[in-house]
Structure 1
Amino acid sequence: MTLDYISSPQAHDRKTGYAQCVAVTGAARTVYVSGQIPVRADGSVPETFAEQARQAWANVQAQLAAAGLGLEHLVRHTTYLADRADRAENSRIRREVLGSHEPALTVIIAGIFDEAWLLEIEAVAAA
């Protein structure tokens, strides 16, 4: 599988740790991960945004692992934030988790299903 990162010179490119466009060639399998919430396997919810963000990413990673994939297979993800004030910390933690891997990304400020949850992350991976 090959990932081709594309950025049109005719559109704004902020260079902020994610791809503007990702083309996937030679993938035999695409995996769609439903929105992963910041809830631990025991049902508890971390208190801080940072803990919740890391837990939601751990849940994404766990779902990918169950499908035989890893975070390096992500081609796109959407993060739903309950509060715009968390956007900088969200970006920092995303970069911490993904390292140099930069899949396509959308961040949406939205009401989350449970008010205790500060974010939710859905993802698409290919292999």
Structure 2
Amino acid sequence: MNRESINAKNAPDPRGGYSQAVKIEDFKTLVFISGQIPVSDDDKVPEGFEAQARLVWRNIDAQLKAAGMAKSDLVKVTTYLSDRHHATANREIRSDYLGANAPAMSVVICSIFDEKWLLEVEAIAAQ
């Protein structure tokens, strides 16, 4: 697969670990990961944003592994936050998880299905 991060010179630079666009060619597999929520496999929701965000990324990792993929295969991530005050912590935790990978990304501030959930993250991966 050929993958290229695109950050056009005549548009704003990305701020914080993402690409303005990601071009993929010659891929074999696309995986669309539904919104992952901060619920553990024993149906518990942790307290606090940091614990919930780390659990969401573990849940994404589990879906990727089940598909035979890894976080390095992520090409698009959309994060839904319940409150803009979580933006900085979200960026830090996401950066810890993604490392050098810089997928295309959106962050949306909105109401989330269950009021206990402070975020939800969906993703697209390609190989």
Give the equivalent residue in structure 1 for 2:123: 123
Q: After the TM superposition, which parts of structure 1 deviate over 2 Å for at least 4 consecutive aligned residues?
A: none
Residue 58 of structure 2 corresponds to 58
Is the Cα–Cα contact under 8 Å of residues 36 and 122 in structure 2 kept in the other structure?
yes
**Matched residue type, 1:23:** K
Uncovered stretches (5+) of structure 1, i.e. residues with no partner: none
2:92 aligned counterpart, secondary structure: helix
Shift of 1:57: 0.6
CA distance in 1, matches of 2:14, 2:123: 21
Q: Write the letter of the residue equivalent to 1:53.
A: A
| Corresponding residue of 1:11 | 11
Amino acid at match of 2:34: S
How large is the RMSD of aligned CA atoms in angstroms? 0.7
Equivalent residue pairs, number: 127
Q: Would the aligned equivalents of 2:53 and 2:93 in 1 still touch at CA under 8 Å?
A: yes
Rounded Cα–Cα distance in structure 2 between residues aligned with 1:103 and 1:23 = 10
Say if 2:94 is the partner of 1:82.
no
CA offset at residue 9 of structure 1? 1.1
Aligned to 1:12, the other structure's residue is in SS state: coil
Aligned-residue identity in percent:
47
